Amino acid sequence: MWVIAAILIGICLGVWAGMRYLPLILVTNAPVLTPGEGTYADALPVAISDTSLLAVIHYTVDGSTPTEASPVYTQPITGLPSGSTIRAIATAIGRAPSSEVSGVYTWAGAKLLAAKPPEVIAYEQGKSAFDNKDYTQARTHFTQACDGGELKACNYLGYLYAQGLGGSQDSETARKIYQYACEQENLASCASLGSMYQDDQKYAEARKYFNKACDGKLYDACKYLGDLYAQGLGGSPDKQKAREIYQEACVGKVAEACKLLPGVH
């Protein structure tokens, strides 16, 4: 009996001794997503890093499980639609693959953008280009927005044509654009149209469009209308009418109209 026990003890000791010298299996560190998952105002690039020596990162953005056959990460991931999920693992020579990390990314701005009609988006893009003096792009976006019925865009588009910004100068096209928007009750376009007629010394037409804008409480237009009445341009001079119009513009905080009031008798 003691012989059998000795044999079993010898076997166990041998196995234990062999295990002491088995190579230690290392695991690749899990990758890190930067920034971490969450909701952000605007779309951001997402970087993936790993601290294991010579680690290779594999990732997916379609919701599938990443494997060593998945795309290899080389640079920050951009252009992700809102709600995308990034999943990643890391591998390294002599190490077991890492555990998986994942993150869901939501762009709040993308949600807001998606909720806006296309013509509103085009107007905002046009306004941004206009503010940055990229008038060629502004024309393109404002044209799209104006054609879609965004009347604020029409007023800007008319100005670009009238001034020859972002393309050739075309007063007739500008006039048509202003006319269309004014007929749709865009008061700024009515005032712009009045200014065009005033520059062309067509004062009766200028009165007509300044009057429409002024009736809609666009007080700058009231000041210009008052000038026409005071100077007798486009019709008989009417100081009393001019004073009434200047008074209205002054109430609307148009400083120039307030200054003119004492001189109108």
Quickly state the pLDDT bin for 73 (edges 50, 70, 90): very high
Number of domains in the chain: 1
pTM tops 0.75, yes or no: no
Helix (H) or strand (E) holding 265: none
User: Does residue 47 belong to any structural domain of this protein?
Assistant: yes
Distance CA 25, CA 96 (A): 7
What pLDDT shows up at residue 107?
Answer: 80
- pLDDT tens by residue, 118-160: 888 889 888 988 998 999 999 999 999 999 999 999 999 999 9
User: Does residue 204 belong to any structural domain of this protein?
Assistant: no
User: Does residue 94 belong to any structural domain of this protein?
Assistant: yes
What pLDDT shows up at residue 43?
Answer: 82
What pLDDT shows up at residue 1?
Answer: 46
User: Does residue 96 belong to any structural domain of this protein?
Assistant: yes
What pLDDT shows up at residue 81?
Answer: 81
User: Does residue 171 belong to any structural domain of this protein?
Assistant: no
User: Does residue 72 belong to any structural domain of this protein?
Assistant: yes
- pLDDT tens by residue, 167-192: 999 999 999 999 999 999 999 999 99
| Residue 162, Cβ density class (10 Å: 0-12 exposed, 13-18 middle, ≥19 buried) | buried
What pLDDT shows up at residue 68?
Answer: 93
Question: Range of 46's domain?
Answer: 29-112
Q: What is the b/e burial string over 122-134, where b = at least 16 CB atoms within 10 angstroms of the residue's CB?
A: bbbbbbebbeeee
User: Does residue 240 belong to any structural domain of this protein?
Assistant: no
Distance CA 157, CA 218 (A): 20
How many H-runs (helices) and E-runs (strands) does the chain carry? 11, 8
Q: What CATH number is attached to the domain comprising 96?
A: 2.60.40
Distance CA 117, CA 152 (A): 14
Q: With contact defined as beta carbons under 8 Å apart, do 147 and 170 qualify? A: no
User: Does residue 59 belong to any structural domain of this protein?
Assistant: yes
